[in-house]
Structure 1
C-alpha cells in the first residue's frame, strides 16, 4: 500500500517531531477510547444454527441418464429446467457415515455444481421428519479449502519475495485490518451501534496500526496518518450530505433487504455510509503515503526547493495519481455491482429512471463521495508534508539540528564558447582544421552559460 522507499526518510527537526507527537498521540488515544466505548461487549451470541449438517465427501462414480419427460405446462408459463439427470456415488469422509458409499441425485438447476469422479465435494445431510433415523444426502458445492490455501500461500510468498521485510510488515498489517474488522467493526454494527461511527473509529484504528506497522514510526508516516484521518472525516461528512440529499435508505440491494429480515435493528442507511468509509480507506492511505513520500524525496533531491515549490511539484505528481485512481475506484465499484449493472440491459424502463433508482443511485453516490475524499487528500497531505519537510530550515537551507544536508557546492561555470572552441580545436598531433560551419558564432551567441 502506497510508495515504498528502502532509503529512510531524512529526520525531521526536534521541534517538528514534538509537534507531530503532540498531534498524533492524542488522536490515537482518542481513537482507542472511542473503540473501547463502542466495543461490542454485549454483542448477542449467534443463535444455534438450524441448517442441516454438512460433511465432506469424494465422488467415486457418476451415472447420467435421460431425464423423464416434463409435465405439460400452460402456454407462456416457464418450463422445467432440462437436466442433467442421474445419480452420483459419493464416499463420505467424515460424520456418522464416514467411509460409507451414498448415492445422491446429479445436481441440477441454476448454479448447480458440475461434478466428476475424484472431485471433493460438500454433502448436505437431510433427515426425514417422519422418521429421524432415515437420512439422505445431496451435493451442495465443491470443497475449496485446499486451492484457496495454495492461492493465499502464493500471494504471501510473492509479497515477501518482492517486498522482503517491508512485504512481511504489509502482511502483518493486512492481518491486523481483518482482525479489527472481524472483532470490532462487524460485531459492533451487529450489536446495534451506529454504523457510521463504528466505521470511522474502526477505519482510524486500522489506519494507525497499518501505516505505522508498514512504513515505520517516522514524521513522513505521521503526515500520511493526519492526511488520511482528515480525508476520512471529510468523506464521512460528504457521504452523510449526499445520501440525505438523494434520499437513500440503504435498501438498494437484495442483500440489505435480507439483512433487515434477520437483524431488524441494523441501520441500513448508516451501513451504506460505513461501506463508503471502509471502501475509501484502502485508496486513501495509498494516496497519502505516496504524497508524503514524494515531498520527502523532492526535498532530499533538491534541498534548495522552497515550501511553495515542493507543494507545486508534489501536487503535479498527485494529479497524475488521482487521474488513474479515480478510474480505479469507479471500476472497482462497477465490478462489485456488475449483476446490478446488467439489469440495465434487461429493464424496460427509461435510462433516466434506472439511473435514479435506489440501487443504481447508491453506487453513483458511493463512487462520487469516495472520489471527492480522494481528491481532497492530495492538497491536504501535500501541504502538511511540505510544512513538515521545510520546517526548521535556516536561511542556508539546513535544519535547526543540522540533520538536513547542505546543498552541494555548484560547479564553476564555464563559457559555452570556450567549450565549443575546445571541441572544435585540433587534436594532439593533428593539423589544425577550420571549425565546422554548423558551430554558432561564439561572439554572437546569446545562449546562457553552462
Structure 2
C-alpha cells in the first residue's frame, strides 16, 4: 500500500484518539438517560417481585402417580400387533375391549432391569408417528395397583417418548456452532439467553400466577431482559446503549398496541385447552393478562436484532464519514433499515405460521371463509401477535436510527481524525453513500444528480 495508508481493512482500523473521545462523550450522554431508566426498572421489578406462594391453586398434575403406580422407562425390543384382549388379564374380560379390536404392543426392556414388559401403544401415537425397535419410551406401570386386574386395566401403558438424547445433541450442536462462528460474543449471548429465561421463570411467570398487573410485569421483565442481554452479548458501548433506547421505544409501542388489541379483539383464550385449565385452577390468573404478556415477550428477539443492527450501521457510517450531515446520515442508515424491515416482516409471519400449522390445516379442511378463519378464536391470537410485533419492530427501526444519529452528532466532534488512517474527506463521503445505497438508488448517487453535486462540492 502507498504511504499513509492503514494496513488494516478500511473501516476497521484502530480508533483514533478523536474517535475514542467521541465514543466516550456519547456514552456519557446515553448514560444520563439510561441510568435513571434502569434504576426505575429495577425499583419496579422489586415492587412487583412475586412472593412465590401457590396458595389457592388447586391443580392435579397428570405426572403425579397414584399409590402403587410408577413412571418407568425402557427401550423397545420388538413391536407386534395383536388383539386388545391380550392387554389385560383374562380375569377382567368383562371390562376388557371387545373381541376383534387390534392394538399395537411394544415389548420393552426396562431401564431398571428385569424381564421385558408388554406396553400398550396409544392409537393416536401408533397412527401419527408409530414406534419402532430401539425407541426409548416412558410408560405407566400399573402392575402393582390393587384392583387393576378386575377392572380390565392394561398393566403397562405408553406415556411418551424419551427425547433426552436428540435434544441434548441439538443443544450441544447449537452451542458449538454459535461459539465457533461468533466466538466469545456467541458464548456471552448464550449465557445471556440463560439469564433471560431465568427472569422469565423467576419473575414473570410467578407474577402472572399471583395476578400481578400483566402490562407492567411484561414491560419491566422485558426491559430487564433486554438490558442484560444487550450489554452482556455486545458489551458496554454507545452502539449498544443506542440500541437499548430504540428497543425500549419498540417495547413501549408493542405494549400499548398489545393492551389495546387484547381488549378490543376480546382475546380470552377460550380456544386453548391449556388456557381453560389455567382459568379453572385459580381466581388470580387472568388468561387475557397472560395473552397480553405473551404478545409483548414474543417480539423481543427480533426487536433486539433490528435495533442493534441499525445502531451499528449508523456508527459505522459516521466513523467512515464524520462530516456527513445528520439528514444524510439518517437517510443512508434507513436504506439499510428498509431492507431489514422487509426481511423481518417475513420472519415473524412465517415463524407464527409454522407454530400454528396444525390449526391452519384444520381451518383449510373446514373450508371456512378466510375472513372468518383469521378472526376466529383459533387464529386471532396468532394474527394479532404477528401484527402487534411487526408494528413495534418496524417503528423501532427509524427511532433507533434517529437516536443514533442524534447521539453521534451530539458529541460535537467534527473529527478530521475520526476516520481510519489514509482516508481524506473526499474519500470518506462517497464511501458513505456507496455502502448504503442499493441498485435502486444508483441514479440518485450519480455525479449528475443532486447528491453527486454535493459530493463534488465537498471534494
Q: Same fold (TM over 0.5)?
A: yes
Residue of 258, 262, 266 corresponding to 2:285: 266
Q: Is residue 91 from structure 1 mapped to residue 112 from structure 2 by the alignment?
A: no
Task: Report how far residue 108 of structure 1 moved.
Answer: 3.8
Contact 1:121 1:140 (8 Å CA) reproduced:
yes
Q: Which residue of 1 aligns with 2:118?
A: 103
CA distance in 1, matches of 2:210, 2:383: 29
Q: Is residue 55 from structure 1 mapped to residue 72 from structure 2 by the alignment?
A: yes
CA distance in 1, matches of 2:242, 2:317: 16
Contact 1:43 1:188 (8 Å CA) reproduced:
no
Calculate the aligned-residue CA RMSD, in Å: 3.2
Taking structure 1 as reference, are residues 200 and 410 closer, same or farther at Cα in structure 2, changes over 3 Å only? closer
Task: Report how far residue 65 of structure 1 moved.
Answer: 3.6
Contact 1:194 1:267 (8 Å CA) reproduced:
no
Give the SS at the match of 1:111: helix
CA distance in 2, matches of 1:199, 1:410: 47
Q: Is residue 184 from structure 1 mapped to residue 198 from structure 2 by the alignment?
A: no
CA distance in 2, matches of 1:268, 1:8: 53
Q: Is residue 284 from structure 1 mapped to residue 286 from structure 2 by the alignment?
A: no
Q: Give TM-score scaled by structure 2 length.
A: 0.77
Say which structure, 1 or 2, has more relative contact order (CA 8 Å, 6+ apart): 2
More displaced, 337-346 or 124-133? 124-133
CA distance in 2, matches of 1:185, 1:340: 28
Contact 2:215 2:259 (8 Å CA) reproduced:
no
Task: Report how far residue 100 of structure 1 moved.
Answer: 3.6
Task: Report how far residue 268 of structure 1 moved.
Answer: 1.3
Residue of 51, 63, 68 corresponding to 1:41: 51
Task: Report how far residue 303 of structure 1 moved.
Answer: 1.9
Contact 2:23 2:238 (8 Å CA) reproduced:
no
Contact 1:250 1:272 (8 Å CA) reproduced:
yes
Taking structure 1 as reference, are residues 352 and 206 closer, same or farther at Cα in structure 2, changes over 3 Å only? same
Q: Is residue 236 from structure 1 mapped to residue 255 from structure 2 by the alignment?
A: yes
Give the SS at the match of 2:304: helix
Map residues 339-378 of structure 1 onto 2, 5 A cutoff: 339-347=358-366, 349-378=368-397
CA distance in 1, matches of 2:245, 2:118: 61
Map residues 187-266 of structure 1 onto 2, 5 A cutoff: 187-266=206-285
Give the SS at the match of 2:118: strand
Contact 1:311 1:382 (8 Å CA) reproduced:
yes
Task: Report how far residue 247 of structure 1 moved.
Answer: 2.9
CA distance in 1, matches of 2:158, 2:217: 39
Q: Which residue of 2 aligns with 1:74?
A: none
Bigger Rg over Cα: 1
Which runs of 5 or more structure 1 residues have no equivalent in the other structure?
69-79, 413-447
CA distance in 2, matches of 1:66, 1:311: 73
Higher helix share: 2
Contact 1:84 1:108 (8 Å CA) reproduced:
no
Contact 2:218 2:293 (8 Å CA) reproduced:
yes
CA distance in 2, matches of 1:84, 1:143: 25
CA distance in 2, matches of 1:300, 1:168: 28
Which runs of 5 or more structure 2 residues have no equivalent in the other structure?
1-10, 86-97, 428-455
CA distance in 2, matches of 1:177, 1:305: 38
Give the SS at the match of 1:277: helix
Equivalences, count:
391
Give the SS at the match of 2:251: helix
Task: Report how far residue 129 of structure 1 moved.
Answer: 4.7
Q: Give TM-score scaled by structure 1 length.
A: 0.78
